[in-house]
Chain A
Amino acid sequence: KAGVTQTPRYLIKTRGQQVTLSCSPISGHRSVSWYQQTPGQGLQFLFEYFSETQRNKGNFPGRFSGRQFSNSRSEMNVSTLELGDSALYLCASSLDRALSSTDTQYFGPGTRLTVL
């Protein structure tokens, strides 16, 4: 089975621009979560999508948004980029078999975003 894929792998943008990152989950996985990883703050949860609906959201400003398509692929968008948005953005997918528990999350390689 192919793993989680993320595109692009590297991205350089300037302040004020916007960016869209893409994530393709493992086939059959319905839940997609996004995380931001920085040296200072570590791994922080951004949001989670399931069946095209945002189910959970972390403490990030509204400039960070996402969506999920009917094939479970997901995109996240960051508008009005700031220098502090430079980070590795990780996507993870899971089967989501049980409503009351957390399934194993399978991570992609990440997209390295640099904001100049």
Chain B
Amino acid sequence: AQRVTQPEKLLSVFKGAPVELKCNYSYSGSPELFWYVQYSRQRLQLLLRHISRESIKGFTADLNKGETSFHLKKPFAQEEDSAMYYCAPSSARQLTFGSGTQLTVLP
């Protein structure tokens, strides 16, 4: 069965500190991997797509096929990064969303 785990429901960091949001997945085959983000009162939107290496706002994600992880990282968090982050592997054009991590960046 396809499964996505984001172990941290809530994560708080101080402005300027590094941040890592964890994502582990259990999938048959080799899924495509995405991170989606939802800022307060905004729509869910794509943050990062592994296959194209595109990213916004300085975030990167490292795929570790051995550990089946796709953790999201940013070296220096900003207050505007506060949002809900969803890891979403995809197979056959079907996204499976993790439960999400609410990131709060403190001033």
Contacts and interface: CB of A to CB of B under 8 A. Distances in A.
B33 to A, nearest CB: 10
A108 B45 CA distance: 9
B44 A107 contact: yes
Contacts of A35: 97
A55 interface: yes
A31 B93 CA distance: 10
B43 A3 contact: yes
B96 interface: yes
A96 B93 contact: yes
Interface residues on A, range: 20 to 34
A45 B95 contact: yes
B97 A102 contact: no
B43 A109 contact: yes
Interface string A66-96: 0000000000000000000000001010001
Nearest to B42: A109
B48 to A, nearest CB: 11
A56 B92 contact: yes
Interface of B: 32, 34, 43-46, 49, 51, 86, 90, 92-100
Interface of A: 3-4, 31, 33, 35, 42-45, 48, 55-56, 58, 90, 92, 96, 101-109
